[in-house]
Amino acid sequence: MQFDWMKIPYSLLTLFIVINFGYLLNSFIAKIAARVGRRRGIPIWQTYIDVVKNYGLRTSITHGVMFYLGPVFRLSGGVGLLLFVPSIYGSYLFSNLSFAGDLILALYFVFFGTLGMALGAAESGHPYSAIGITRGLSQVTAAELPFALAIFSVALQYQTLSVTDIVAAQQGGILHWTLFTNPLAVVAAMLSFLGSMMRPPFDVVLAPQEIPIGPPTEYHSSYLALMQTNRAIFPIAKIVIYMNLFFGGATNWPVFFLKVFLIYMWSVFVGVAFPRFRVDQSIRWFLIWAVPIGVLSIVLV
Amino acid sequence: MKDELKKRLVKGPDGVEFEVDPLRDYYCDARPQVEPPAVSKIVEDFFNWARSESLWILGFATGCGAIEMRPLMTPRFDAYRFGVQWRPTPRQSNLFIISGYLSTKTLKRVIRSYEQMQSPKYVMGLGSCTINGGMYWDSYNTIKRLDDYLPVDVYVAGCMPRPESLLAGFEELKRIIREGKGEGANKYAAQFDRYKANQKQVIHDWDMPDYNW
């Protein structure tokens, strides 16, 4: 197999664009949430300052090897997810390192960061971290189920495991999107999407004010800065998959930014309108509402 | 010293006996070091600017002054505009607000939380009680001068100061940090023995290591 080395700098360019877009988007979303509460909210560049400050702290302590590796795993989960899926369809520059079976790899990467985080945070020995991880893993597992079903449904529908081919099949008008050709799969996936964005009603993992922020309780300075960087990359990487599978992908950056923003806003809308679920409620909610829709979509395909 | 903090033999579920010394096993008691600033002045100034614009407050309220912090999070005053945020864990916080009177019992917890914060860290004394004891000046169980026990960067005077004074205090602290004078953590490390002597003078049931990271 011939590997094209020029793909690597191009992929890093994608990464650079997405990181900056992610920082700005995160503070923009925080501003929107603040406006819902009738506050002005943080300045748009606040996320950059926070990250610089955390990298610039003079001391940091460690609890062991896995404590180091936790944020690294999490970041590599986000970066890996982004790099193995084409971000701009039909562009040589921004197709990244996508290949024929990348859909399966993407499914794996979505889960990878959570597992790494679980190992790292568990080593910190803080009881709140342990509670957060238990909740996080159970909820992510429940939320992943409808997403996996939706992906299988889409893969069956297009008879391929390549994201690029799936995007190609959706070109030529809005009615060719999976949203209209396989609506049940999209509904199941979008319900699962709510569960993985760490926003209400499914933010019981971090649960601010209850178990003070859960898994990252013990993380500080550069560890925390790495996780903040991942916070910028991971949601976008995940949204890119959704965009490619269900919403026709993007053929240039403006369309990319718009679609990512709108898909993100779906979880924000739900988040500002509904209070938090307990973890047993959220698991039950996913199993009762999202999973049957996913099964139905596979049956219909 | 409490019983659970004493050195003892523990029998595990698999029948193996092992020794547990909570003070040595659960805490690291290495002395704090003076952390030098970045070598280049430009880099240090840049970091100081970032530190001043991103003040993360430890959500630990010691006295009645805490009631003045709540309005800062709500639409009326909205301190988030100025880069001020509340964090629930000492590991991620930079600013410790001692809000009002500080009883010796709370002082113990305050010291432990302060020592868990990462350098550079700042302390703000809120209200007259932290300056000279305020209306609790002759109380048997509150401290009079906060500065004897922790290195204070900025005071906000009043009984109680309104949220506006707190905002002014934040701006003052930002100016201090930008000028590179917010070196409380290093002062604490350099004069560690003096601070510890003062702390032990008022805390009679001292049952923790001298420094718990």
Determine whether the interchain pair A53/B35 forms a contact, defined as Cβ–Cβ distance below 8 Å.
no
Determine whether the interchain pair A57/B75 forms a contact, defined as Cβ–Cβ distance below 8 Å.
no
Confidence of residue A61 (pLDDT cuts 50, 70, 90): confident
Distance of alpha carbon B198 from alpha carbon B44, whole angstroms = 32
Alpha helices in chain A (DSSP H): 7-36, 46-56, 65-83, 102-124, 127-158, 163-169, 178-181, 183-196, 221-246, 253-273, 279-285, 291-300
Taking CA atoms, A205 is separated from A31, A196, A197, A237, A280, in Å, by 22, 10, 11, 20, 12
pLDDT of A207 above 70: no
Minimal Cα distance from B72: which residue of A?
A39
Q: Could you give the strand order of the β-sheet that contains B95-99, starting from the edge strand earlier in sequence?
A: B84-87, B55-58, B95-99, B122-126, B154-156
Partners of residue B87 in chain A, C-beta under 8 Å = 213
Structure confidence by residue, pLDDT tens digits, A209-234: 666 777 788 888 888 898 889 889 98
Partners of residue A49 in chain B, C-beta under 8 Å = 50, 53-54, 83
Q: Which of A55-64, A112-121, A191-200, B36-45 ranks highest by mean pLDDT?
A: B36-45
Distance of alpha carbon A84 from alpha carbon A130, whole angstroms = 31
Q: Check residue A1 and give its pLDDT.
A: 56
Q: Check residue A208 and give its pLDDT.
A: 65
| % of chain A at pLDDT higher than 70 | 98
- Determine the residue among B31, B47, B48, B54 to mutate to test chain A binding: the one whose Cβ has the most chain A Cβ atoms within 10 Å: B54
pLDDT of A124 above 60: yes
Q: Which of residues 28-87 of B touch A (CB under 8 A)?
A: 28, 35, 37-38, 46-47, 50-51, 53-54, 59, 74-75, 78, 80-81, 83, 85, 87
Q: Check residue A210 and give its pLDDT.
A: 67
A37 touches B at CB < 8 Å = yes
Structure confidence by residue, pLDDT tens digits, B46-91: 999 999 999 999 878 888 888 888 888 889 999 999 999 888 888 8
Determine whether the interchain pair B118/A41 forms a contact, defined as Cβ–Cβ distance below 8 Å.
no
Q: Check residue B208 and give its pLDDT.
A: 81
B118 touches A at CB < 8 Å = yes
Q: Check residue A266 and give its pLDDT.
A: 92
Q: Which of residues 191-220 of A touch B (CB under 8 A)?
A: 208-209, 212-213, 216-220
Which residues neighbour A204 within 8 Å (Cβ) at sequence distance 6 or greater?
A135, A139, A210, A276, A277, A278, A279, A282
Do residues A151 and A110 lie in contact, with contact meaning Cβ atoms separated by under 8 Å? no
Confidence of residue A272 (pLDDT cuts 50, 70, 90): confident
Q: Check residue A251 and give its pLDDT.
A: 86
Partners of residue A53 in chain B, C-beta under 8 Å = 47, 50-51, 53-54, 94
Residues of chain B with pLDDT under 50: none
Q: Check residue B213 and give its pLDDT.
A: 65
pLDDT of A91 above 70: yes
